[in-house]
Amino acid sequence: MSPINDSFDWYTKGLTLSNHGVGLTHTTVEFEDKASKCYYRAIKCCDEAIQINPKDFTAWNNKGASLNMLGKYDEAIKCYDEAIRINPRHANAWYFKGKILDNLKKYDEAIKCCDEAIRFNPRHANAWYFKGTILDNLKKHDEACKCWAESNCIDPNAVALISAAVRTTKSAKEMTSLARKLVTASAVVVGIIALIFVAYLFLPDSGTHIRNLSSQDWVVRRDAASALGGNSDPRAVEALAAALQNDEDSGVRWRAAGALGETGGDRAVELLTTALKDVDSEVRYRAANGLISIGNESSETVLISTLEKFADEKIGNLLLNCGNTKLEDAATNWAKRNNIPIVSTSRRTGASWGQNQTKGN
């Protein structure tokens, strides 16, 4: 077999490995490990391509994508910045940089990146769609609906659009309101489908969602876990407990942790405290966020010890901006000792201490 000596060939090999990694991600722990290996190999291929041609912006972009999947967000942003420096009109680099900034809760910067992607490619359906998602998370529902409508006009995919939109709604009333806004935003078909989703998603009782937590389909289990948030029915709480403790899919587990945080109560505190030991960092983060939202004084010590044990910068930022003086001081001292650049901000990066304190009691 002849050696690879062309930048494009290295880039193509890297892209193939990266795509293979995406296919393995979010399954079992074993496949997650295989996915990580694919991403690291993809990065090496991109480095080879860049060494041959340092101005290969597609290789920089793909390297950023692989680093992003590995959770190396700062390094990924540097790669996207380099791709943009070489080719400022590279819409995908702007778009993917925006997705990372959203993960880091830098929402204003993420929106600006989406705007740049749209400026250079007005028909970038994903950029329109993702901008809408950010705006909706910021409670700017009218602006979000306009972006989703624009995305749907470019790439009609109503089911995917509404599937994402309903994740931000909590009741049939809110879903109906969203449907009406989509109709007025010239997305009539999407609005009609949204109304159908009202019946499909919100009319089922707790029993339906509890049964769905046993589905073989991880997408169904994830949606069921999210739907049970804030439900103080003991059956729902125990179903979420089983999902949090036993489900092999980390996406189901962290959604169960988030749902228990919304529910509150002593049982939720017990379960979320145990979840702080989960092997998955996102599950630990959501458990910490849930404990903060419940605001039980007994959680303070375990939250601090979790930060010390796992040295998780996301949890550090969470504690630093939660509104609890003891936790904020602990996070500040931890960051100074370890030279970690976490920042105190007036805008919450997660839950506020005790925001769900009255629930579940």
User: pLDDT tens digits for 89-106?
Assistant: 999 999 999 999 998 889
Q: Where is the domain boundary, 72, 87, 102?
A: 87
Report the distance separating Cα 52 and Cα 251, nearest Å: 39
Element (H, E) at 76: helix 73-86
| 287 is a domain residue | yes
- CB-neighbour burial class of residue 185 (10 A; exposed 0-12, middle 13-18, buried 19+): buried
User: What's the pTM value of the predicted model, to 2 decimals?
Assistant: 0.48
- Closest CA relative to residue 88, chosen from 116, 59, 49, 66: 116
Can you state the angle between helices 325-338 and 299-310, rounded to 10 degrees?
10
| 147 is a domain residue | no
| 289 is a domain residue | yes
| 177 is a domain residue | no
Q: Where is the domain boundary, 46, 64, 87?
A: 87
| 64 is a domain residue | yes
Cα distances (angstroms) measured from residue 361 to each of 266, 302, 357 = 8, 21, 8
Q: Where is the domain boundary, 67, 87, 107?
A: 87
Q: Give the other-Cβ count within 10 Å of 302's Cβ.
A: 18
Structurally, the chain folds into a number of domains equal to 2
| 165 is a domain residue | no
Alpha-carbon radius of gyration of the chain? 22
Instruction: Tell me the pLDDT tens digit for each residue of 247-299.
Output: 999 999 999 999 999 999 999 999 999 999 999 999 999 999 999 999 999 99
| 284 is a domain residue | yes
Instruction: Tell me the pLDDT tens digit for each residue of 2-29.
Output: 333 444 443 344 344 444 433 333 333 3
Containing structural domain, residue 303: 206-338
CB within 8 A of 172, min separation 6: which ones?
Answer: 198, 202, 203
Looking at residue 116, its pLDDT comes to 96
Instruction: Tell me the pLDDT tens digit for each residue of 133-168.
Output: 898 888 887 788 788 778 877 766 544 455 445 444
CATH of the domain at 283: 1.25.10.10
Cα distances (angstroms) measured from residue 142 to each of 107, 198, 290 = 17, 19, 28
Residue 258 in tokens: 């988030």
CATH of the domain at 60: 1.25.40.10
Quickly list DSSP for 203-264.
SS-HHHHHHHTT-S-HHHHHHHHHHTTT---HHHHHHHHHHHHH-S-HHHHHHHHHHHHHH-
Looking at every residue in the chain, the average pLDDT score rounds to 78
| 240 is a domain residue | yes
